[in-house]
């Protein structure tokens, strides 16, 4: 069985836009065929494009040619070598060749400068159909709990996931302009910007705005209210920014980390838009949503169910060959609803008592004067490990923080030590990897930060 590359029925419908141009479906197909013609004859393409339109064209060209997109979480050369070692018939597609990288590299930005012979006949190009069982992408976990793992995504899984999201967010009734701050290499970014554009006919902004003023400015360039796809770290920055007027956001979708109610309230007040959250994982993709300030319970997308077996929660989808065990601790309300309690790796045992690192983080951040915080449990083979906290604050001392936290949690869960830091080492998707916390701990011990 084959499924079409896009659901756009009109060559003049918009696929993407930026400050310079509106990009039609016909032009998109011409660009896809142009890039596909220049791809190396290999099985895997490490797609590193940062411009969202370049990524989308490259992503489509790769699967049109029957190849697979590899989506690493960063552009570090060591990471790319590790990916290429596991998938040795591979090459890199990027917008600027990486110095020192000894892998085949294709600069897609150079291809866009060359004459595109397909442009002349762009209005007659038929939308390609893709084998539904083609491994369209292999997405890698964030590495927040260890070594990143590759997860294969068939074209059928990506298409059906987009259809379910369209039903949940009303995109099947009214396609909406999308602005995203999330890298397309991340599963969340891939689904909510690339697939929403291809399969739900939602025009997507071609760039990736980062700072609050850039995000606000880009939303104003759309001819109608946009869906803002983002993360809690971006929302905190937007809510804290002074003198910014937000007038063109329909609603906001947040994911990659829990969003505190206090932040959601600030965001809705400041940005004049409802905040919704997506729950998902790289293994399954997006699977559930909730409106942050109105719902504690997560509702699974139509067609997905959750059940308990062998002490774990499993997700059953219509597009995967096997059910997936969640790495999260949940309370199942019924087969379509659940309450999130934390991740398996998030649960720690201290002095015989179980607690959640995420809950400790939230309690630290609820202390007046604490701007950001994280707690982790180091691995120490020589002594009993103690919880360690990193806190971003201007005026509080570790002793004051500890005293405030003692009023909120059992004494065994008070971190020792508590380090004051200028900022936390979030990656591009707003996550903190365990390795980055280990490195930060070493810097704090030796007074480097």
pLDDT in tens, 56-87: 999 999 999 999 999 998 888 888 998 999 99
> Within this chain, do residues 307 and 420 fall inside the same structural domain, yes or no?
no
Does 286 lie in the same domain as 434?
no
Q: Assign 378 a pLDDT band (cuts: 50, 70, 90).
A: confident
Q: What is the pLDDT of residue 148?
A: 66
Work out the pLDDT band at 191, boundaries 50, 70, 90. very high
Per the structure, the complete domain to which residue 291 belongs is given by: 2-341
How far, in Å, CA of 2 to CA of 171, rounded? 23
Last residue of a domain, one of 298, 318, 341: 341
CB atoms within 10 A of CB 406: 12
Instruction: pLDDT band for 381, please (50, 70, 90 cuts).
Output: very low
Q: Do 151 and 238 sit in the same domain of this protein?
A: yes
Higher-confidence residue of 385 and 220: namely 220
DSSP 403-448: HHHTTTS-GGGS-SSEEE-S-----TTS---HHHHHHHHHHHHTT-
Rounded CA-CA distance 424/200 in Å is 36
Same domain, 116 and 164: yes
Task: Give CB contacts under 8 A, 24+ apart, made by 351-356.
Answer: 351/412, 353/410, 353/412, 353/413, 355/409, 355/410, 355/413, 356/329
Residues 185, 256 within the same domain: yes
Task: Write down which residue in 311, 341, 371 finishes a domain.
Answer: 341
Q: Residue 135: is its pLDDT beyond 90?
A: yes
Burial class (CB in 10 A: 0-12, 13-18, 19+), 265: middle
Does 218 lie in the same domain as 159?
A: yes
Residue 234 to residue 113: CA distance in whole angstroms: 33
Whether residues 288 and 198 fall in one domain: yes
Any idea what the CATH number is for the domain that residue 155 is in?
A: 3.40.50.12780
231 Cβ neighbours under 8 A, 6+ residues apart: 181, 182, 254, 255, 256, 257, 429, 430
Tell me the C-alpha distance between 189 and 231, whole Å: 10
More confident residue, 289 or 446: 289
Structure tokens, 282 = 């790289």
Q: Are residues 186 and 302 in the same domain?
A: yes
The region, left, alpha or beta by phi > 0 then psi within -120 to 50, assigned to residue 303 is left
The Cα-based distances of 29 to 42, 59, 193, 238 in angstroms read: 22, 12, 17, 35
Taking alpha carbons only, the member of 49, 206, 53, 31 closest to residue 114 is: 31
Does one domain contain both 150 and 21? yes
Q: What is the mean pLDDT of residues 213-236?
A: 93
Counting beta carbons within 10 angstroms of the beta carbon of residue 107, is it exposed (0 to 12), middle (13 to 18) or buried (19 or more)?
middle
Residues 59 and 43 in one domain: yes
Closest CA to 119 of 11, 197, 29: 29
Supply the mean pLDDT for the chain. Answer: 90
* Total tally of structural domains belonging to the chain: 2
Going by pLDDT thresholds of 50, 70 and 90, the confidence category of residue 145 is very low
Same domain, 215 and 359: no
What CATH number should be reported for the domain holding residue 374? 3.30.300.30
Are 20 and 114 contained in the same domain?
yes
Instruction: Report the C-alpha gap between 211 and 184 in whole angstroms.
Output: 18
- Domain end call among 309, 341, 373: 341
The pLDDT confidence band at residue 351, using thresholds 50, 70 and 90, is low
């Amino acid at each position: 069985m084959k499924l079409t590359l896009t659901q756009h029925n009109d060559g003049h419908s918009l696929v993407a836009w930026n400050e310079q141009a509106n990009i039609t479906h016909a032009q998109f197909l011409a660009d896809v065929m142009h890039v596909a013609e220049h791809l190396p004859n290999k099985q895997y393409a490490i797609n590193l494009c940062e411009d969202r339109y370049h990524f989308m064209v490259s992503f489509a060209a790769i699967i049109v040619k029957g190849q697979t997109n590899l989506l690493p979480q960063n552009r570090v050369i060591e990471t790319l070598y590790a990916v290429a070692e596991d998938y040795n018939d591979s090459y890199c597609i990027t917008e600027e060749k990486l110095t020192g990288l000894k892998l085949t590299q294709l600069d897609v930005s150079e291809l866009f400068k060359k004459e595109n012979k397909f442009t002349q006949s762009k209005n007659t190009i038929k939308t390609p159909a893709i084998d539904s069982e083609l491994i369209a992408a292999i997405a890698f976990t964030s590495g927040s709990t260890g070594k990143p793992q590759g997860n294969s995504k068939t074209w059928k899984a990506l298409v059906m996931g987009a259809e379910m999201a369209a039903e949940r967010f009303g995109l099947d009734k009214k396609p909406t302009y999308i602005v995203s701050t999330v890298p397309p290499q991340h599963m969340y970014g891939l689904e909510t910007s690339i697939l929403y554009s291809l399969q739900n006919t939602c025009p997507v902004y071609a760039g990736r705005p980062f700072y609050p003023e850039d995000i606000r400015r880009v939303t104003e360039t759309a001819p109608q209210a946009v869906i803002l796809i983002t993360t809690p770290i971006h929302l905190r920055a937007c809510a804290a920014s002074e003198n910014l007027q937000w007038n063109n956001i329909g609603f906001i979708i947040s994911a990659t980390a829990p969003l505190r109610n206090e932040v959601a309230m600030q965001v809705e007040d400041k940005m004049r838009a409802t905040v919704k959250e997506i729950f998902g994982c790289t293994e399954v993709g997006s699977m559930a949503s909730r409106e942050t300030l109105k719902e504690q319970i997560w509702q699974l997308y139509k067609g997905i169910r959750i059940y308990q077996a062998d002490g774990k929660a499993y997700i059953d989808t219509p597009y995967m060959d096997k059910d997936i065990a969640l790495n999260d601790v949940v309370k199942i309300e019924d087969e379509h609803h659940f309450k999130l309690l934390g991740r398996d790796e998030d649960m720690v045992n201290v002095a015989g008592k179980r607690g959640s690192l995420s809950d400790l983080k939230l309690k630290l951040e609820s202390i007046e004067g604490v701007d950001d915080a994280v707690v982790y449990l180091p691995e120490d083979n020589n002594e009993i490990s103690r919880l360690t906290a990193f806190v971003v604050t201007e005026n509080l001392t570790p002793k004051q923080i500890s005293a405030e936290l003692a009023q909120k949690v059992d004494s065994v869960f008070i971190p020792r030590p508590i380090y004051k830091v200028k900022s936390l080492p979030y990656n591009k998707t707003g996550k903190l990897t365990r390795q980055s916390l280990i490195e930060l701990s070493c810097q704090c011990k030796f007074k480097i930060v």
